[in-house]
């Protein structure tokens, strides 16, 4: 199968459309014996690697989907020494100083250093399916790998399905690549090469030819302090005539995110949630922060959507001028999943997290420096982006553990600044990987 002249049979399924499953395990491993591992990569893993084509059709979706990606040290362990021309990837995430993390003190210890050689993603409808697939994989791989760390992700239950742990609907806005499926209104359409290495629009040169149709996978374990976030909203409701304290707290949360919990964008629904708009994929992404009549962005008015809102910081749309794609090559495709349990009654009543929960963040791009790292460092963490002195992204903006100032959140007083003394999202670290094409696994990585 192909679309837009890209070979969907050869591209791992998670990259363009996500795994489409409620459960996903991230299994981080080291390569203990390269010769053995290569043989098993070819005989046991490659036949299980799920392509985009397979995922696109219900009838060909496997019970448990599998994808695999390698870190820089993993490629070296396989004796693949080509430069991938990606500085963050080459160094590994633990030495990336550009993410606003206060060093690696909060990191999961296994992510510190460069011991992780690769990650296997297993996705299915049930934990049992995942565990049985993992058991058979482990017995096939034997001593060729060592298990370093695992993180089990799961969609939240019932009505919260599809929502991240703060309660907001996620997975609404991802870019489409040119020619691949019909874009929804407002969806960014980006050159294929912005996501897939070696395709049209990939601005980085010097990659080995086998890297074509692969994509860099950024993994981050982002802990979310949900009771603490809720307490902050309760303590700081926006005070406006006609709003109850609860309405005011909900409005503050929605303005921090740029969307209501239903997914409705605050730019289109500035005062109250409109759940029907949130659900409607033909409308919930159809805005660009410009005045629909003039086509211009008002760079001083934040009544509809703060300049610092998470979705505006990470994808400024017409704020950077239009058409969007000619002015920005900073798009990522997100494919993360929540991890950890629901908030317990004890945690809710004490306003304190007792058990870790958060987002197993996954982002794909053809350049980490233009993609994830750029969004985090030069947009979310930059206090003068996107207009004037907006402060940090209140959700993911990071200041090395120091407090963060956010402006424009209060529609009744845009000059009011709010200082966030705690982070509601705490980085527990991660790693940078490359998710190769199936043919690269067959012809380069396993030989
Ligand atoms: C959109 C939550 C981390 C980049 C969103 C949305 C939510 C959300 C609720 C709106 C739904 C959607 O448009 O799909 C979170 C939470 C995070 C997190 C709770 C951490 C725990 C990140 C990180 C980045 C990022 C680390 C990149 C550095 C984006 C982008 C969008 C988005 C690019 C789409 C914006 C658009 O196209 O309008 N996020 N996010 N997010 N997020 Fe995050």
Using a 6 Å cutoff on CB, does residue 310 contact ligand 1? yes
> Which of 96, 173, 281, 308 is the pocket-test mutation for ligand 1 (most atoms within 8 Å of CB)?
173
Question: Ligand 1 centre and the CA of 311: distance in Å?
Answer: 6
Q: What is the ipTM of this complex?
A: 1.00
Atom 19 in ligand 1: which residue has the minimum CA distance? 164
The response to whether residue 379 sits with its C-beta less than 6 Å from ligand 1 reads no
- The yes-or-no answer on residue 280 being catalytic is no
Cα(310) to centroid of ligand 1, in Å?
A: 7
pLDDT in tens, the chain (447 residues): 555 689 999 999 999 999 999 999 999 999 999 999 999 999 999 999 999 999 999 999 999 999 999 999 999 999 999 999 999 999 999 999 999 999 999 999 999 999 999 999 999 999 999 999 999 999 999 999 999 999 999 999 999 999 999 999 999 999 999 989 899 999 999 999 999 999 999 999 999 999 999 999 999 999 999 999 999 999 999 999 999 999 999 999 999 999 999 999 999 999 999 999 999 999 999 999 999 899 899 999 999 999 999 999 999 999 998 888 777 889 999 999 999 999 999 999 999 999 999 999 999 999 999 999 999 999 999 999 999 999 999 999 999 999 999 999 999 998 899 999 999 999 999 999 999 999 999 999 999
Q: Is 222 in the pocket of ligand 1 (CB under 6 A)?
A: yes
φ/ψ of 343, rounded to 5, equals -65, 130
Catalytic residue among 170, 273, 393, 410: 170
pLDDT given for residue 3 in this prediction: 57
339: helix, coil or strand?
strand
Query: Is residue 86 within 6 Å of ligand 1 at its C-beta?
Result: no
The predicted pLDDT at position 302 comes to 96
Q: Longest C-alpha distance within the chain, in Å?
A: 70
Comparing CA positions, the residue from 272, 329, 332, 321 lying closest to residue 299 is 321
DSSP-based three-state secondary structure for 216: strand
335 pocket-lining for ligand 1 (C-beta < 6 Å)? no
Taking CA atoms only, the protein residue closest to ligand 1 atom 42 is 311
Residue identifier of the C-alpha nearest atom 13 of ligand 1: 173
For CA atoms 164, 168, 169, 175, the dihedral sign is negative
Per-residue pLDDT, 1: 52
Helix ranges (H only) for 358-414 are 372-374
Q: What is the pTM of this model?
A: 0.98
């Amino acid at each position: 199968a192909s679309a837009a002249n890209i070979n969907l049979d050869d591209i791992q399924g998670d990259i363009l459309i996500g795994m489409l499953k409620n459960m996903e395990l991230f299994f981080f491993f080291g390569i203990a014996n390269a010769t053995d591992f290569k043989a098993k990569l070819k005989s046991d893993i490659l036949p299980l690697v799920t392509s985009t084509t397979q995922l696109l059709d219900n009838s060909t979706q496997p019970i448990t989907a599998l994808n695999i990606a390698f870190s820089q040290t993993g490629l070296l362990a396989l004796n693949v020494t080509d430069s991938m021309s990606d500085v963050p990837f080459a160094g590994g995430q633990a030495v990336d100083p550009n993410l606003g993390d206060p060093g690696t003190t909060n990191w999961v210890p296994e992510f510190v250093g460069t011991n992780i050689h690769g990650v296997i993603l297993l996705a299915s409808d049930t934990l049992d399916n995942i565990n049985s697939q993992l058991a058979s994989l482990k017995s096939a791989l034997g001593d060729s790998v060592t298990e370093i760390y695992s993180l089990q992700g799961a969609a939240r239950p019932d009505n919260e399905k599809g929502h991240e742990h703060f309660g907001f609907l996620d997975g609404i806005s991802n870019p489409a690549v040119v020619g691949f499926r019909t874009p929804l209104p407002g969806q960014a359409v980006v050159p294929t090469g912005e996501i897939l290495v070696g395709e049209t629009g990939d601005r980085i040169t010097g990659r080995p030819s086998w890297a074509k149709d692969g994509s860099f996978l950024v993994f981050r374990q982002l802990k979310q302090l949900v009771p603490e976030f809720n307490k902050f909203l309760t303590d700081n409701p926006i005070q406006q005539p006609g709003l109850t304290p609860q309405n005011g707290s909900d409005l503050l949360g929605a303005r921090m995110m740029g969307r209501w919990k239903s997914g409705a964008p605050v730019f289109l629904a500035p005062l109250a949630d409109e759940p029907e708009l949130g659900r409607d994929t033909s409308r919930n992404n159809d805005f660009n922060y410009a005045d629909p009549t003039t086509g211009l962005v008002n760079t001083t008015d934040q009544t509809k959507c703060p300049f610092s809102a998470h979705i505006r910081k990470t994808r400024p749309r017409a704020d950077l001028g239009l058409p969007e794609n000619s002015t920005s090559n900073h798009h990522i495709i997100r494919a993360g999943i929540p991890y950890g349990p629901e908030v317990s009654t004890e945690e809710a009543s004490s306003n304190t997290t007792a058990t870790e929960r958060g987002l197993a963040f996954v982002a794909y791009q053809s350049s980490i420096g233009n993609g994830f790292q750029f969004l985090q460092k030069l947009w979310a963490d930059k206090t003068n982006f996107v207009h004037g002195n907006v402060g940090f992204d209140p959700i993911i903006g990071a200041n090395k553990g120091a407090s963060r100032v956010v402006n424009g959140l209060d529609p009744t007083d845009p000059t009011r600044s709010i200082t966030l003394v705690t982070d509601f999202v705490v980085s527990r670290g991660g790693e940078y990987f490359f998710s190769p094409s199936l043919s690269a696994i067959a012809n380069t990585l396993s030989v």
